[in-house]
Amino acid sequence: MFENKSRTPLSELGEFKLIEHLTKTFTVSDETTVLGVGDDAAVLQLKDEQTVVTNDLLIEGIHFDLTYVPLKHLGYKAVMVNLSDVYAMNAVPKQITVSIAVSNRFPLEALEELYTGIGLACKNYKIDMIGGDTSSSTTGLMISITAIGQAKKEKITYRSGAKPNDLLVMSGDIGGAYMGLQVLEREKAVFKVNPNNQPDLAQYSYCVERQLKPEARKDIIELLAELDITPNAMIDISDGLSSEIFHLCKTSGVGCDIYEEKLPADPQTISIAEEFKINSTTALLNGGEDYELLMAIKTEDYDKIKSHPLLTTIGHFTDQKEVCNMTTGLGQSIKLEAQGWQNFNQE
């Protein structure tokens, strides 16, 4: 579960000393943070902008498996999940709070690994960790992170603004995280049969990293600002492309047509899908956790993005409310179905 051989029971520290120990290396850098960790509440001096707040809860056995997820990677990913939601509002994250619940099988050294990952995310994305909570758990590890961001009122982008004829544009590529998960689950099964087996993941490195250590698309928000583009609507691709398309269409009251041949995928994603005998289009449409950004862009902005390597136009919105179709590589039009991740529907 973690590499350290020494094990310090959390009972040796107690809650307040544990918090002090885990957060002692975190420093305040953003000018809107007046006071971070160390009092009953954090103090923020917010600017003349609007504030966005988001929260995600990650639960062991539901959202992550510590058989193959290093705690350092988990801490990093837990932050990315929240930052991605802030960027999906076309806002800039400034602070996070971190709350955890842990069972007594986790020693201090395990939590140090977790917070090392959280700290690295804060450093890389220039955000402040300003507080949170710790509690005991009887069922393993739970992480709850709240992210706070800011943006000018006119730049805030909601899911509800897509209009007929807007272009459906996305960043990066999709399906990689899902195929990385398939590889990790297979190696877990092999490990159960032969614990001495050491997997060689070199040929799957891109997709495994997409699953274990995703990056929120800060660069895309910076690019949109540079190109002077404010999307009409935006959402991050966490539950699968098909599900996110339906979220945009339902909230905006529009339909959508997409093109199979336009769906962006890394060659390794396609290769692994073939190895696992999974239809690659199914993986691209329904695999989640890529944390790319999906947006509605005005047609007049097309010339600004048409040749940019980080953005791909995969379709357009229509006036047929919540009717979503995909044109296949053979030229056939088929009804698109949302088959991504859904909480409370998993066995």
Q: What is the mean pLDDT of the chain?
A: 90
* Residues 4-24 pLDDT 10s: 567 888 777 766 677 677 777
- The model scores a pTM over 0.95: no
pLDDT digits (tens, 9 = 90+) for 130-166: 999 999 998 899 999 999 999 998 999 999 999 999 9
Q: What is the pLDDT of residues 91-114, one digit of tens each?
A: 999 999 999 999 989 999 999 999
CATH number of 11-155: 3.30.1330.10
- Where do the DSSP E strands lie in the chain? 33-35, 43-44, 50-59, 92-102, 128-136, 142-151, 167-171, 233-237, 255-259, 292-297, 311-318, 324-327, 333-335
Cα–Cα distance between 291 and 214 in angstroms, integer? Answer: 7
Q: Residues 75, 122: contact at Cβ < 8 Å?
A: no
Say if residue 43's pLDDT is above 80.
Answer: no
Q: What is the pLDDT of residues 219-228, one digit of tens each?
A: 999 999 999 9
Q: Residue 332's pLDDT is what?
A: 94
Give per-residue pLDDT as tens, 168-194.
999 999 999 999 999 999 999 998 888
Rounded CA separation 225/41 (Å)? 33
Pairing of strands 43-44, 33-35: antiparallel
Q: What pLDDT, in 10s, does the model give residues 64-88?
A: 999 999 999 999 999 999 999 999 9
Buried b (16+ CB within 10 A) or exposed e, 99-109: bbbbeeebbbb
CA dist 271 and 265 (Å) reads 10
* pLDDT at residue number 123: 97
pLDDT at 339: 67
Q: In the chain, what are the domain boundaries?
A: 11-155, 159-335
The set of residues, in sequence order, having a beta carbon less than 8 Å from that of 336 and lying 6+ positions away, is 242, 245, 246, 256, 258, 285, 324, 325, 326
Q: What is the pLDDT of residue 259?
A: 97
Give the model's pLDDT for residue 38. 63
pLDDT one-digit tens code per residue, 199-215: 889 999 999 999 999 99
Taking the chain, what is the end-to-end CA distance rounded to the nearest angstrom?
A: 25
Give the separation between CA 347 and CA 345, rounded to whole angstroms. Answer: 7
* CATH code that applies to domain 159-335: 3.90.650.10
